[in-house]
Amino acid sequence: MPIEKTPEENAILFVWFNHYAGVLIKTPSKTLIIDPVDIRARSFPDADAVLITHEHYDHLDPRLIAEIQKATKCTIIADPASTQRLKHAIPPEKLQQIRPSEEIKVGEVSVKAEKCNHPAAEPVTYIITSEDGVKIFHTADSLPYPELAEIGEKEKFDVVFCTVGIAPGTSPDTGFEIARLTKPQVAVPYHTNSTDYQQQFAQMIKQELPRTACLIPELNKIYQVTKRK
């Protein structure tokens, strides 16, 4: 990181950069950073937007966000509790609060918030749709919840990030349940420092979801995902 290359048409690039929900997504036109912590601001010289899911320490670092914003002039999109915490550090015209079912455009890229089943103030998950229609679901620290099935059916996700550890109540099983409900083309186990947990998740996908591929990411490595046919 930063990613020098640009994704091919109908594709996105992503990098998982910490043991939590830290993900960089690059579409052909925009670079989005989600929940940056435990990383230097200079890793993101071309950020167009930073997205924050909730106010917990492993997702929100106001000082780091202010530093990224100052260097790049990017937009910050955040849940209400994080917006409160960022108010004094970010120029008001660059800070946008979001709640479930609201949508904010970053150029031609759509960022839509959905519900997040996690014990924080008003946490959100993010559906990101690239300018050529690649669909990414960043589920933050969420545990499964029934509406995910409907969301998955409607959106037809290319990539879903599934929490498999660290957060309260989460495990490879709850991560798998998110994949089972949303049925993406590619499921990515994250929010863990256990490769065992990621392997357990991969096993369940292989046995029970033959049409979903599991991608176990390595930290700071670039992956490309192409829109499903």
In the complex, which residues of this chain contact Zn ion (CB under 5 A)?
20, 58, 141, 167
Token duo for residue 89? 């550090």
- CB closer to Zn ion, 30 vs 59: 59
Cis bond before residue 2 (omega within 30° of 0): yes
Please report, for residues 63, 80, 94, 109, 125, the alpha-carbon distance to residue 74 in angstroms, rounded to integers and kept in the order given.
15, 19, 7, 14, 20
Q: How far is the CB of 53 from Zn ion (least distance, A)?
A: 8
CA distance 3 to 66: 21
- CB closer to Zn ion, 48 vs 58: 58
CA distance 215 to 229: 18
Q: How far is the CB of 35 from Zn ion (least distance, A)?
A: 8
Q: How far is the CB of 163 from Zn ion (least distance, A)?
A: 7
- In the sheet with 49-52, reading across from the earlier edge strand, the strands are 95-97, 75-78, 49-52, 31-34, 23-26, 11-16, 222-226
Q: How far is the CB of 70 from Zn ion (least distance, A)?
A: 25
- CB closer to Zn ion, 95 vs 140: 140
- CB closer to Zn ion, 19 vs 94: 19
